[in-house]
Structure 1
Amino acid sequence: MSTVSNEEAQQAVFYHYKHAFSGFAAMLNASQAKMLAKSEEVVSVFESKVLQVQTTRSWDFMGLDLDSSNPLQLRYGDDVIVGVIDTGVWPESDSFKEEPGMGPIPKSWRGECVGGEQFEPKRACNRKLIGARYYLAGFESEFGKINPDENFTEYRSARDFEGHGTHTASTAVGSISNGASLSGFGRGRARGGAPRARLAVYKACWTMEGKVGVIRTMEGKCSEADLLAAFDDALRDGVHVISASFGDSPPLSPFSNSASDIGSFHAMQNGVSVVFSAGNSGPDPSLVENVNPWSISVAASTIDRTFPTKILIHTHTHTDTNTTDADIGTSSSSSSYLTLYVCIYVCLFHSRTCSPYTRNGNDASGKIMLCFSISTDSPVPSLIMELGAFIANASAVIIVQALTKPVASEGILLPTIHIDNIQGTRLHQYSNMTKLTILPSETAFRRSPAPIVSDYSSRGPSSISPSILKPDISAPGTNILASSCPKPSKHIVGPDDRSVWKFDSGTSMACPHVSGIVALLKSAHQNWSPAAIRSAIMTTAHNLDVNGDGILAQPTTKTANAFDIGAGHVNPLKAIDPGLVYDMKARDYVFFLCNNGYSNKQIKAIAKCQPQDTCPKCSDPNRVSDMNLNYPSITVPDLKNSTTVKRTVRNVGQKNPTTYNVSIVKPNGVQVVVRPTTMRFSSVNQEKTYYVTLTPLKESEGRYDFGSITWSDGSHRVRSPLVVQINNLPAQSN
């Protein structure tokens, strides 16, 4: 940096990372960055990228009843501190009030409540919301000063503007709140998975204006420089869990060049579990995000609640009834009937133009608009079709699209109904001679099949580490009701009466469900490592829906596999008492990095080498192979010949002595031999090792097949997914 003066260097630096890891963020040009990287004292230089941000029924659906007598659940995450890195918080929300009887702030807490625009610490923070910070420097260095448009003014503070952070935080640890609903939908008691846990908010994601067609939108953007600062402070402050609903879309960066991966590695070394969203790029394969093996990546699924709406079809001869799903928060939920004795107005949308093309001009006054998305490669968002109907003065809109899509988050423009293509085609056939009566929407529970993996949820295999199964687990993420902030909605057209409650969908919503469960586990098992907690969540997951059938994966009706759902759908009550766990230490992950081609210098950019856990050298002859990383799943992405994999489990059950027997579901065309077939434990924390030998029984060129290995003592079922890709066909000669 000889060409840069000390004063210029100081002005260029806007973050010093000094608590959990050592480094800084600075504005440098390409030549300066290249020169800095050549220094022997510098471990790594990488560009700061921008990442994207990604309930009244969901917790009951997973078995976490507020009236449960389970002694391990009754603590509700008491005194566990959950850090949420997101778009901030709306502190006045009922979800962040102090629970009756909540004790003082834990003595281990070292953070603070930082004031800012419309965020007064003495009013905003309490014994529930115990900390709040915000990070602007990275975002503003890339996008300029915030608040360029008074209509889209952000808060220069930890206060949430967009609502994403408030929603995720309340899902994870929200206090119990009676009477939650949005326009009557989803009415009930809302709460987070760990309602007695403490919340610390780190606002590192900021609202940017965008466009979907003609609609101005808000979307959260997170600078990696800000994210690293948030991780650094969170670990210094003393959080126990970090919930991170954001990610980087493929092509993924190496772990040594990723703020999320570096920050979460240091969290793991400090005993802090990090939970990430898996991404919303499904259902195509290999687009899963946040794939490092030291954190948890969460897929999204549905719950058993729907909002059916009856549509009466009046023809010249008779009346038929169709039942379908209503949009969320529309006036179709009112107590009065919506009867429109008019012809249906048909509208076809082309995704490339996002503008309506109609048969009868542009005025749909007094009519119901029936909207089809006719694109096969890029379906039109329902919001665009809703806007088209609003602009055309329609009285209501019926949107025809796959019902695998989540309903709109707010539904503020006009009454909206979603129907599938079969129902839509039928209405289209009657469009010149049909009158409709739309009855008020209802809320229905225990609808099956449920859960179903949501179509938008990103799928495996991992694009950069295929030997590690990702996503790890699935949790509720579609149409989740949680707290929001009563600020301008994403639409600039139409009325805006958004509630302090909001339905939203995405793996961003699934992530805090698991974060809340991790807080429960931390409360019940304070000495468990992040690896042990992840193991408990994965090995106790279930793969059957409410009817006892295999869980399905949208958009088709196929049974979900491990690339859709990870180990399965999270089962929190079972996770509290898993029986056996697969544990790991930081050095195990270092060996994983060695096996994936990372140099010692790159590894030092990721790992904090402490005296008690010095970074091992990649040349260490005792390093384990990639497949022998003690992960709770077994993935062999390139099986050519007979291969043996090693796993070690630790007994954490309270009933001793105990004996576990193995059962195997073999992947198609693979012989699986486990030895030993029985493991006997005489005490808590005793460890046993077993070996799995996989032999291909067919020739194949890259097909994945799925199975499982389950250990059971009669009380516990410890299941590990088994994923094998046979790739043993001889190379073709020219």
Structure 2
Amino acid sequence: MEDVISVFESRTMELHTTRSWDFLGLPIPSYTNNRSTLFPLRLPSYGDHDVVVGIFDSGVWPESKSFDENEGIGRIPCNWKGKCVKGYRFNPASACNRKLIGARYYLNGFEAQYGALNTTAENPEFRSPRDFLGHGTHTASTAVGAVVHNVAFPTSSLLAKGTARGGAPWARLAVYKVCWGKDYEGKCTDADVMAAFDDALHDGVDVISASFGETPPLTPLFESASAIGSFHAMQRGVSVVFSAGNDGPHPSLVQNVSPWSICVAASTMDRTFPTPIFILNHFSIMGESLITTNIINVKLADAINYFNDGICERKNIRKGGKSGKGKVVVCFSTVGQVSIATAQEALKAINASALIFGAPPTTELPDLDLIPTVRIDIDQATQIRNLLAELPRLPMVEIGVARSVIGKSVAPTVAYFSSRGPSSILPDILKPDISAPGVNILAAWPPETAPTVRPSGKFNEEEEGVKWNFQSGTSMSCPHISGVVALIKSVHPNWSPAAIRSAIITTATKVDTSGNTILAGGSMKASDPFDIGAGQVNPIMAINPGLIYDITTNDYITFLCNIGYTDQQINNLILNPSPHFCCRQSTATIANFNYPSITLANLRSTTTIRRIVRNVSLNKNAIYFLRVLPPYGVRVQGGARDGSPALWGNSSAPLPRSPTHGFPS
């Protein structure tokens, strides 16, 4: 067939689901004299250089204040070719403005795979860019949301009260709805994603943020819409940011591992919602919740009294069992591997008054609950269970209201759910690349969509009306990096996607607020690069990284040749493939691919590794010294051996770097 580059099965990918920017060191921006200011840096844009961020997700709720026009925002960029597409309950004249400048939707792939879109039954979807699931509104708000004051959750409370905004609040937003509600989950087909990439690159976006991925096992890059589309974007100078996935903490389940994109892990921040639990005449503990009303005069019970094997699921309710009325029931995430939502629904079915849920500390908080819920850690839950086993009768318990506390907890910690490396198909490329906040992120939400999807496959209609909602997942960490990319792009508009990624990776921090190594949630061990990549993003430092590791399209092609891809497979990835393309013989090794991290999947003997860096510092005559911290069991020798500077030069040319030698030890 003419004009057909390749044919592959259209697979389905799934969506990965206010304080965060302050925690990352980006204060609330102000706008004066037609220039936004950011202390301690003056960024002439903070989005003002007309950076356009494309969000590939479930659409947008355009009426949210997150998508209002910020003070001082200028005209739509003259080179913008995108448009707002009319659809059900989406009128471009009122929905779009100088902030939300593009909105499209893609259904052909979804309907070919799942049948006609549900537009009439319970909880119908919108055949338009309007968001039904809430996921897209949340991620867009996180990346580029406008400055909105006096935000709280829920609106009537003081939880997380403050000012909400995206990382690049003056950047423009273009929405590409590629994910649709199916069984109350977001489904995104390859066919629709590829179509969106084509349009977004034509429209003129500068950054693409995509919080979805395929469930492992991963397909080869040349058959992946995300990998192919992001390769095309890289060729056009467009950075693509993906979420790492929510399959942690097991190894090698990280998704979106293409070397030309950015893969983002999730971590916590230093905001908590402590909630006191008083077991009368015994002891008290502190959990976390979003509870806004005291719970008193109730008894405390173990799940084993109501559920077979103590597994808090509706299907495990004991036949002819007791009612949970007037009881606070203790459940464990690790008994039967149940989620908070599953346990909530199960306790609602037995008429329990509240849930105390034992789970790893870096899991998400319960959303607006079917029943009031407090999350505690596994050790605390075990302490309660042991007490209940010793007592002849059920004790009384009281639960206080939650408070918002900032700066008292050690953070960040890698989220328990965040997918870990190494990459299952490219183990010589470190993934994830970087980490950003992804636990209990408060951002915009469609008021017609309940913030919680129940395991039974429906929304809790009682919860509608929320305009700001907490969500957790690498889906939430991904738009944080997209916002940072937009900031860097606004300051350095000519930097390549590889240079921007390098700036983010090489300036990351590896320590938490206590000054110790960032811990991995769940095991609470010291995190390693397969947990967190280079570390936690540092937006201020990333603006001026000093040195960058750049990579060209030809470098990527050489890399693919060296890992054994055929000419046709590489042509499948290239934007303008040539029938005459063939891999050239190259002396470059995979280890010398100019990535800003070094990963050797099979180190058996002495290996020499080379990198080329470029000085982009404001100091054109900067001198850099090399320091090597080798991993355990490996001896590394690098830089000049006489103690002289390892790197030198000016900002206009690449700097030579002495090779680094790795020795198995």
Q: Match of 1:340, SS?
A: strand
Shift of 1:320: 3.1
Shift of 1:497: 3.4
| Cα distance change on mapping 1:422 and 1:462 into 2, 3 Å | closer
Shift of 1:502: 0.8
8 Å contact kept, 1:344–1:435 = no
In 2, distance between residues paired with 1:394 and 1:353? 13
- 1:442 is aligned to 2:403: yes
Paired position in structure 1 for 2:371: 414
Shift of 1:689: 2.3
Q: Which amino acid aligns with 1:563?
A: F
Paired position in structure 2 for 1:80: 51
The answer to which of 107-116 and 419-428 deviates more is: 419-428
Structure 1 runs not aligned, ≥5 long: 1-35, 210-217, 699-734
In 2, distance between residues paired with 1:373 and 1:579? 45
| Cα distance change on mapping 1:112 and 1:364 into 2, 3 Å | same
Paired position in structure 2 for 1:504: 471
Shift of 1:341: 4.1
In 1, distance between residues paired with 2:313 and 2:350? 17
- 1:534 is aligned to 2:534: no
May I ask how many residue pairs the two structures share in their alignment? 636
| Cα distance change on mapping 1:411 and 1:682 into 2, 3 Å | same
Q: Which amino acid aligns with 1:75?
A: S
Paired position in structure 1 for 2:92: 121
1:205-224 alignment to 2 at 5 Å?
Answer: 205-209=179-183, 218-224=184-190
Query: Aligned Cα RMSD in Å?
Result: 2.1
Shift of 1:675: 3.1
Paired position in structure 1 for 2:527: 560
Shift of 1:149: 5.5
Paired position in structure 2 for 1:715: none
Name the structure with the higher strand share.
1
In 1, distance between residues paired with 2:283 and 2:634? 52
- 1:97 is aligned to 2:57: no
Question: 582, 588, 599: which one pairs with 1:624?
Answer: 588
| Cα distance change on mapping 1:494 and 1:605 into 2, 3 Å | closer
Question: 67, 78, 90: which one pairs with 1:107?
Answer: 78
Paired position in structure 1 for 2:151: 180
8 Å contact kept, 1:591–1:623 = no
In 1, distance between residues paired with 2:580 and 2:445? 43
8 Å contact kept, 1:340–1:368 = no
Paired position in structure 1 for 2:41: 71
Shift of 1:636: 1.2
Paired position in structure 1 for 2:229: 263
Offset from partner CA, 1:514-566 (integer Å, 9 cap, x none): 00000000001011000000000000000000010000001111100000011
Paired position in structure 2 for 1:664: 628
Question: 28, 32, 45: which one pairs with 2:7?
Answer: 45
Question: 147, 153, 158: which one pairs with 2:118?
Answer: 147
Shift of 1:322: 1.5
In 2, distance between residues paired with 1:88 and 1:258? 22
1:196-345 alignment to 2 at 5 Å?
Answer: 196-209=170-183, 218-315=184-281, 320-326=283-289, 328=290, 332-334=291-293, 337-344=294-301
Q: Which amino acid aligns with 2:637?
A: V
8 Å contact kept, 1:657–1:680 = no
Paired position in structure 1 for 2:601: 637
In 1, distance between residues paired with 2:330 and 2:446? 32
Q: Match of 1:82, SS?
A: strand
Percent same amino acid at aligned positions? 47
Shift of 1:366: 2.3
Q: Match of 1:397, SS?
A: strand
Normalised by the size of structure 2, how large is the TM-score? 0.92
Shift of 1:411: 2.4
In 2, distance between residues paired with 1:74 and 1:647? 32
Q: Which amino acid aligns with 1:369?
A: V
In 1, distance between residues paired with 2:26 and 2:439? 18
Shift of 1:680: 5.0
8 Å contact kept, 1:656–1:681 = no
Offset from partner CA, 1:84-120 (integer Å, 9 cap, x none): 0100000000100000111100111000000100000
8 Å contact kept, 2:605–2:664 = no
Q: Match of 1:311, SS?
A: strand
In 1, distance between residues paired with 2:60 and 2:97? 13
Q: Match of 2:323, SS?
A: coil
8 Å contact kept, 1:453–1:551 = yes
- 1:135 is aligned to 2:106: yes
- 1:551 is aligned to 2:518: yes
Question: 170, 195, 215: which one pairs with 2:169?
Answer: 195
In 1, distance between residues paired with 2:307 and 2:334? 7
In 1, distance between residues paired with 2:175 and 2:556? 28
Normalised by the size of structure 1, how large is the TM-score? 0.83
Question: 321, 325, 333: which one pairs with 1:365?
Answer: 325
Shift of 1:180: 1.5
Q: Match of 1:300, SS?
A: strand
In 1, distance between residues paired with 2:417 and 2:580? 38
Shift of 1:472: 0.4
Q: Which amino acid aligns with 1:590?
A: I
In 2, distance between residues paired with 1:371 and 1:695? 49
